[in-house]
Chains A and B, each alone.
Chain A
Amino acid sequence: MTTNALPASPHPVEVQHHTPWHEYFGFSLDHKVIGIQYLVTGFFFYLVGGALAGMIRVELVTPLSDFMARDTYNQVLTLHGTIMIFLWIVPVVNGAFGNYLVPFYVGARDMAFPRLNAVAFWMLPPAGFLLMSSYFVGGAAQSGWTAYPPLSITTPAVGQVVWIISVLLLGGSSIFGAVNFIATILKLRQPGLDLFQLPMFCWAMLGTSVLVVLATPVLAGALILLSMDIVAGTGFFNPALGGNAVVYQHLFWFYSHPAVYIMVLPAFGLVSEILPIHARKPLFGYRSMIYSILGIVFLGLIVWAHHMFTSGTPPWMRLFFTIATAIIAVPTGIKFFNWLATLWQGKLALNSALLFCCGFIFNFVFGGITGVALAQVPFDVHVHDTYFVVAHFHYIVFGGTVFVIFAAIYHWFPKISGRLLNEHLGRLHCLLSFIGFNVCFFPQHWLGLNGMPRRVAEYDPQFQLINQISSVGALILAISTLPFLVNVFLSMWKGVPAGDNPWRACTAEWLTSSPPPVENWLHEAPLVTEPYDYGSTEDAMSVTTVRGRDLWSAGR
């Protein structure tokens, strides 16, 4: 009789730090260094974008634009959106965690194209600083992160062109990254490792990368045409010159709706990695999770025009995109029920990582419900371009993805640094984030339903109280970052040594030292064919904690 105890956490040893600090500032080819470069750079831009959000919420404390000029407000909201999406969320969930984890999960020593990987990262800081510098040279772009013409054609040209160049660089970086992920996951798997044995994060990254490869180039094309309209005087999107502004919207949303999935699919994958470990249960419905990802990828490409119900879309188009959008709730719902089933009667360790995941589930489900509501044409026409959309969107990307990013940092920090983060500060961070987030964004639904338009520095005085509540929430959110920063710096310095595998996890990144050596394992790469093999030890054999398969095989 063989027992199959989970890998025991070995006696904690003092952390030996391997990577010299200056390597993080150079052209390193190590996927782990590049992942951390993405993470830290992204977090820097998160702080910048957060400061801009703070300026927005300060401006909206009073109905008049008394904190900054109206065109400054437009620049601030444009920079806030662009930085948060293209320099924080997309690089961190894809670049940071994708680069750090995918080679481990496929049993590889590095990504398929390490040099391309480094190039993709190093496109990011110049693009970010270029974007920010536009504020100081003649003013940043003012047309929002969507850059809809004719607004983007008529606002000052310099900022808009800089914005376009910067987004093209970031899109190129994203495409290079996606090429790398697809090649790594499909071609660099260890011999004997089947696609259907991969951890869910690999599938999420595969789906995301397919979306990046298919959708991002279309945005690039649209932005090239837009820059020609601005610089060369063509009229692609300029109705005054015989062009068609709605064509831009189609091309833009053909990328930017999948972009929502580029931002949340990796987060879905990370949650699928974190929940089973801290619930000590196998991931529920492994296959259905994969098919849901594939379904979301396919449907995600054919729902873009639900952003354009007020752009004169013909009825057949409205009907098609409403139905397709409603259907996408099905695979998403499957994933959420699977996570709940994974948690159900598990041996939950209510640590910061799991709590942030639970916050994610709560927030994202709420954002998903308002999303299905927004897909219905009569409702959408009513709340289009109001704060309802702002609230919905932030429930998806902040309440969804950013919560998962923090969960992932609490979960993988011990692997990256060799030390645990402080749990008390972590839970305080989680609590403040959850309260601050919901106080900030929940009232905005009410604002939108009552007709407050988005992207305005001045508003009807009747909305003042609710706006002030929302601003208080933003303040709590800002404060919530402090315990996190203190935690990270203190723990890096004096944290409890974590040992190689503090969570007693089964996946391959934990089966090496913390931090891992340069080529990931000193010995042969481990072949992990059961990444979620928790709760199947003999003493844990009960109907509630074991997969059906184990019960069947044990009963025979």
Chain B
Amino acid sequence: MTTLIQRPTSHRLEQQQEDRQKVPVHSHHPDVRLFGLTVFLVADGMTFAGFFAAYLTYRAVNPLPVNAEYELELLLPAVNTLLLLASSLTFHRGSKVLMAGSMSTCRSWLLLTAALGVAFMAGQMWEYFHLPFGLTDNLFASTFYALTGFHGLHVTLGAMMILIVWWQAGTEGRFTAENHFGFAAAELYWHFVDGVWVVLFALLYLL
């Protein structure tokens, strides 16, 4: 007869009885907050995916009345797209500078990023006020406002996050090259919002 499987569990209960009197062992686990945020952004992305799927289905099976056909102006949204892409780059520059340890330059990049986001929102507002259709005019109009509105909400939240991070970065030692979760979270979220816009722009304006 040979040895059966070694069972690591057999002695544990006795050990636990002994441990009853001891103080609890505290352990620290690795920081998984960015991973959690990534999972949440997958979920957020699925909301957009649902909207996009609905929009594409409408395009395929629900023809608009003839008088509702409208060619969207491309110049402003194209400039807006460039603004948003540029803001992703400036945020990225900011994080590079943060890694190098230069906080004041980093804050300037953050402010520039927020400014680009606000400029994007201003452009969206201008477009909203100059479009010849309203929310309830037809199916395309409703979908257009729902999609851009939902995305605009994300941009607004993102810009607020950037400003908060900018404000926090004013405190000495709040963010360091090793420890800067709030900064990294805002950056990840901002890149996500930009990425969604690129898809949205392609579907709504170019398709």
Q: Which residues of A contact B (CB under 8 A)?
A: 1-8, 10, 108-109, 112-113, 116, 175, 178-180, 182-183, 186-188, 212-218, 220-222, 224-225, 228, 232-236, 241-244, 247, 250-251, 254, 500-501, 506, 511-513, 517-519, 521-530, 533, 536-538, 550, 553-554, 556
Q: For A217, give its contact among B10, B27, B47, B57 (CB under 8 Å).
A: B47
Which B residue sits closest to A172, measured CB to CB?
B43
Chain A contacts for B20, CB-based, 8 A: 513, 522
Q: For A113, give its contact among B33, B48, B49, B64 (CB under 8 Å).
A: B33
CB-contacts of B31-45 with A (<8 A): 32-33, 35-36, 39-40, 42-45
CB-contacts of B9-37 with A (<8 A): 9-10, 12-17, 19-20, 22-27, 29-30, 32-33, 35-36
* 18 contacts across the A-B interface (CB closer than 8 A): A2-B6, A7-B12, A109-B27, A175-B43, A217-B46, A218-B49, A232-B135, A241-B139, A244-B62, A500-B16, A511-B12, A513-B16, A517-B24, A522-B19, A522-B25, A523-B19, A533-B5, A537-B4
- A236-B142 in contact (CB<8A): yes
Q: Which residues of B contact A (CB under 8 A)?
A: 1-10, 12-17, 19-20, 22-27, 29-30, 32-33, 35-36, 39-40, 42-51, 53-54, 57-58, 61-62, 64-65, 135-136, 138-139, 142-143, 146, 150
Contacts beyond the supplied A221-B51, A225-B51, A550-B5: 9 A-B pairs with Cβ under 8 Å: A112-B29, A112-B36, A116-B36, A225-B54, A228-B142, A234-B142, A236-B142, A236-B146, A244-B61
Q: How far is the CB of A58 from chain B (nearest CB, A)?
A: 39
- A235-B142 in contact (CB<8A): yes
6 closest A-B pairs (Cβ-Cβ)?
A221-B50, A218-B50, A4-B7, A217-B47, A217-B46, A234-B142
Q: How far is the CB of B62 from chain A (nearest CB, A)?
A: 5
In whole angstroms, how far apart are the Cα atoms of A10 and B58 in the complex?
Answer: 66
In whole angstroms, how far apart are the Cα atoms of A521 and B110 in the complex?
Answer: 44
Which A residue sits closest to B29, measured CB to CB?
A188
Which B residue sits closest to A524, measured CB to CB?
B25
In whole angstroms, how far apart are the Cα atoms of A538 and B142 in the complex?
Answer: 71
- B13-A500 in contact (CB<8A): yes
> Secondary structure of the A side of the interface?
loop
Assuming A112-B32, A236-B143, A242-B62, is B39 touching A2 (CB within 8 A)? no
In whole angstroms, how far apart are the Cα atoms of A554 and B54 in the complex?
Answer: 60
- A518-B24 in contact (CB<8A): yes
Q: How far is the CB of A218 from chain B (nearest CB, A)?
A: 4
Chain A contacts for B6, CB-based, 8 A: 2, 4
Q: For B136, give its contact among A213, A234, A528 (CB under 8 Å).
A: A234
In whole angstroms, how far apart are the Cα atoms of A523 and B13 in the complex?
Answer: 11
Assuming A214-B46, A554-B1, is B136 touching A519 (CB within 8 A)? no
- B47-A218 in contact (CB<8A): yes
In this complex, the member of B43, B58, B135 whose beta carbon has the largest number of chain A beta carbons within 10 angstroms is B43
- A232-B47 in contact (CB<8A): no
Q: How far is the CB of B169 from chain A (nearest CB, A)?
A: 23
In whole angstroms, how far apart are the Cα atoms of A215 and B46 in the complex?
Answer: 7
- A113-B36 in contact (CB<8A): yes
Q: How far is the CB of A529 from chain B (nearest CB, A)?
A: 7
Chain A contacts for B57, CB-based, 8 A: 244, 247, 250
Which B residue sits closest to A541, measured CB to CB?
B4
Chain A contacts for B24, CB-based, 8 A: 517-519, 522
Chain A contacts for B25, CB-based, 8 A: 519, 521-524
Assuming A522-B24, A526-B8, is B43 touching A179 (CB within 8 A)? yes
Q: For A553, give its contact among B5, B7, B23, B33 (CB under 8 Å).
A: B5
Chain B contacts for A554, CB-based, 8 A: 1-2, 4
In whole angstroms, how far apart are the Cα atoms of A113 and B39 in the complex?
Answer: 13
- A523-B5 in contact (CB<8A): no
